[in-house]
Structure 1
Amino acid sequence: MRSTNRTGSSKLVKKLNKEEILQQVITHGQISRADISKQTKLSRPCVSALVEEMIREGLLYEVGMGDSRGGRKPILLEYNYQAYAIAGAVFDGSTLDMAIADLKGQFLARFQKRLSLPAQGEFVIEELTQGLDRLMQECGLEKDRLLGIGVGLPGVTQRGSGTVSFSPSTGWMGSPIQQTIEERLGLPVIIDNDVNMMTLGEYVRGVGVGHATVVYIYVGTGIGSGIILDGQFYRGSREAAGEIGFMMIGPDHVRRDGASGVFETHYSAPGIASMAKGFLSDLQEGSSVIEALIRCSREEHAEAVKLLDDVYRHWAYGMANIVSILNPELLILSGEMVHIDEKGVKRIHDWLTEWVPVAPRLEKASLGQQAGLIGAVHSVLEAFPSTRLLDR
């Protein structure tokens, strides 16, 4: 029995030592065996033996010589960020965007497809499966090198149970989507709301970097937001925080089961396009309704001027409500809002300054359609830290 305990203890110590070595390599970027020994207080023979093992496992590799300090030049080690890969996918209600990335989060391949509407849940999952197969073939990647996939979906996602409790556009109402996708793909899956994934992307790589309290506002086929308070996502008691499309902004209407909220019914991209159809009859599918309205307004088209003012004002109402409750330092404008011109952004900010005690900064999202994918990939990187690779 004592022998078994010693064996178990020895394996644990070895794993912990490898974790320390791996962390030193990742932290320093490039580092020699001797410097790892100094930093970790592990003996040089121990470091050398474990490094050789990790090189065979594909986690580390030698990248050349470092500077000499009076003897032979040391051989530098680097973490192999392409030892494994991660997938990300975001379906925003109309477009499926997918990518495969390395362990640094850098995209290796990307795929995008606009789905015909309405896109029912089973159809979306089938497109997700085909898209992943296509990306893996493009990368020449074997399935066992893929750690998992982060998936952003429209609706209220319950991450703990892996369900989507409310998603009128797909028909997912309390469905065990995470389990369904895992069984279909044969991979660990992390699900979250699509706008939360976009928020995470802008927070870790975009205009949200360096800010602690941020609200990301997205206007697309619906209206939603992602909320980060003091560096942490705020999701609410049932993970429905940020569903601002249900604010009572705009003409009231009777919402039946499965219908959109008042705000997004009238002031999402389809809602605005519906109000503009009398004079924007040539608006192409996939093009920006705000860009079209701005273009018409500059030509002094009276109806366009009036509608654009109405849209900006109602979007500003939503922002004022958010600011009054959460007092963010930054509002990130995304989706259709990135097409607002400088004059429009100033107008909205002036309204906020007039209406609320402290108006936040307004910044347009900087990552475009990559934001959600970056967030989806980052969610997997958080769930599978590099030290977990030692268990594979």
Structure 2
Amino acid sequence: MQRGNASYIKKVNQKRILTCVREEGSISRANIAKKLSLSKPTVSTLVDTLLVEGWIREIGSGEASINGGRKPVNLTFNPEKAFMIGIDFGGTNVALGITDLNGHVCAYRDFPTQEHLNNDLFNVIKQHVDIMKKELNIDSQKILGVGAGIPGITNIETGIVKEAPALKWNSFPVREKLKEIFDFPIYIDNDVNINVLGEHWKGVGRGKNNLIYIAIGTGIGSGIMVNGRLFRGSNYSAGEIGYLVTDRVYADQYHPVYEGYGFLESIASGSSIGNRLSELLGKKVTAKEAFDLYQQLNRQAVEVIDFALENLALGIANYVSLFDPELVILGGGVSGSYSIIREQMVKIIDRYTPGTYEVLPTAFGKESGVVGAVALFLKESDTLIEI
């Protein structure tokens, strides 16, 4: 029992030291001991282990300073000690990346989902990962594990996707499928959950522990972080903002854009905006084209988008009144038009909420899902890296 306790304390202190080195960028052994209130011999022993294992490096010569005595050798984190694979399963594209321990995307690939969905999807994923490993000149021993995001309700314990309409998956054993191609630890979660983790780690949510991330694209979903932890709900379906009803009168005419999608998605998602405007104009219009027409003050575009924005803002207002977040982050395709819709959206949110809430677009580009998936892996796995 005592040996077990000693082993546990050693690992905890290793994590603390490694976190300290990562946060400081460059720090001496003596300053680590002072900062963490650990004895110098304890720090020295644990640092030696971390050096041998390659988690940290020494920098500086240790030569005498101008005041005499030896200049301390500083320690710095080695982000290339190991790498991780991030996978973002989207209804349109699958995004793949290999990152270092700092979340820097060292290699990236994406490919169309629907072309491969019903036949060789997982083999194509493996092929792309193998190519990226070759590019980076790393082998499987350098890979810590895999994180993956799914656009649907996902049981993180069993690895089964209960429902993902964009992928036409129902009770789909995605972890099992990934284990057939990867011999690594694998963690999966809903795609907006991984996005809120990525924003908290490396994005605009850094330093904030109460966040809501709302993705507005083909559908509308959200991830919720409360006190630094994901709130998943009792059935892993917390954050299904797309099911909110924001217009009682219009709800009588509710017809989902796609099977399995909710009311708010049917009037305020990118796909619903494009579909509704296409019906009015009698020609196919994408969400991006709809926002271009909106800026040109096209009457039908203004009608469709103003209605969508009002309902979206009402949904967000309900959300923030319940959770009182430090920040609301908008992601997904529609977030690219945030500068166009910001003023109107914030005005409605402020009108119906008890306080003023900050709403910002994500700062991530196409790599957001990869970074989020890697953040999931680090959050859930038992490694020395803590985020």
**Paired position in structure 2 for 1:86:** 84
3-state SS of paired residue (1:245): helix
Aligned position for 2:275 = 274
Letter of the 1:59 counterpart: W
Q: Is 1:64 paired with 2:65?
A: no
How big is each residue's C-alpha offset from its partner over 1:243-280, in whole Å with a ceiling of 9 and x where there is no partner? Answer: 12222355544679953223223432222211122538
The answer on whether the counterparts of 1:337 and 1:364 sit within 8 Å (CA) in structure 2 is no
Corresponding pairs, count: 377
Deviation of 1:164 after TM superposition, in Å, equals: 1.1
The 2-side partners of 1:385 and 1:367 are apart by 27
Q: How does 1:46-57 map to 2 (within 5 A)?
A: 47=44, 54-57=50-53
Cα deviation 1:310-369 (Å, max 9, x = unaligned):
221221232233234333342222213323354521112222233333352221222233
Give the secondary structure class of the aligned counterpart of 1:185. Answer: coil
Q: Specify the alignment match of 2:198 in structure 1.
A: 201
How far did 1:16 drift? 7.5
**Preserved contact between residue 349 and residue 359 of structure 1 (Cα < 8 Å):** no
CA distance in 2, matches of 1:325, 1:357: 10
Unaligned runs of 5+ in 1: none
Match of 2:378 among 372, 377, 381: 381
Q: Distance in 2 between matches of 1:302 and 1:9?
A: 70
Which moved further from structure 2: 119-128 or 372-381?
Answer: 119-128
Contact 1:147 1:188 in 2 (8 A): yes
Structure 1 residue 388: Cα displacement: 7.8
Does the CA contact (< 8 Å) of 1:218 and 1:224 recur in 2? yes
The answer to whether residue 218 in structure 2 is matched with residue 221 in structure 1 is: yes
320, 331, 348: which one aligns with 2:328: 331
Q: Which position in structure 2 is the counterpart of 1:99?
A: 97
SS in 2 for 1:217: strand
1:292 aligns with 2:289: yes
- Pick one of 127, 131, 136 that aligns with 2:133: 136
Q: Is the 8 A contact 1:152 1:376 kept in 2?
A: yes
Note if contact 1:100-1:107 (Cα within 8 Å) is conserved in structure 2.
yes
Larger Rg: 1
CA distance in 2, matches of 1:7, 1:316: 56
SS of match in other structure, 2:384: helix
Matched AA of 1:98: L
Using structure 1 for the length normalisation, give the TM-score.
0.82
> Which moves more between the two structures, 266-275 or 66-75?
66-75
Contact 2:155/2:236 (CA < 8 Å) preserved in 1? yes
**Contact preservation (8 Å) 1:212, 1:230:** yes
1:73 aligned to which of 71, 74, 80: 71
Q: Equivalents in 2 of 1:352, 1:11: separation in Å?
A: 51
Contact 1:87 1:98 in 2 (8 A): yes
Task: Report matched runs for 1:339-378 at 5 Å.
Answer: 339-342=336-339, 344-378=341-375
- Residues 175-190 of structure 1: pairs in structure 2 closer than 5 A: 175-190=172-187
The answer (yes or no) to whether the contact 2:257–2:266 under 8 Å persists in 1 is no
Distance 1:115 1:172, change over 3 A: closer
In the superposition, the TM-score normalised over structure 2's length comes to 0.83
RMSD after superposition: 3.4
Please state how far the C-alpha of 1:23 moved relative to its aligned partner: 5.6
Q: 1:309 to 1:142 in 2, by over 3 A?
A: same
Question: Would the alpha carbon gap of residues 145 and 257 (structure 1) be closer, same or farther in structure 2, given more than 3 Å must change?
Answer: same
- Structure 1 374/20 Cα, relative in aligned 2: closer, same or farther at 3 Å? closer
Q: Is there any run of 5+ residues in structure 2 with no aligned partner, and where? A: none
On the 8 A contact 1:121/1:171 being kept in 2, the answer is no
| Superposed CA offset, 1:130-169 (max 9, x none) | 2212221111110111000110011001112222111123
Q: Is the 8 A contact 1:88 1:374 kept in 2?
A: yes
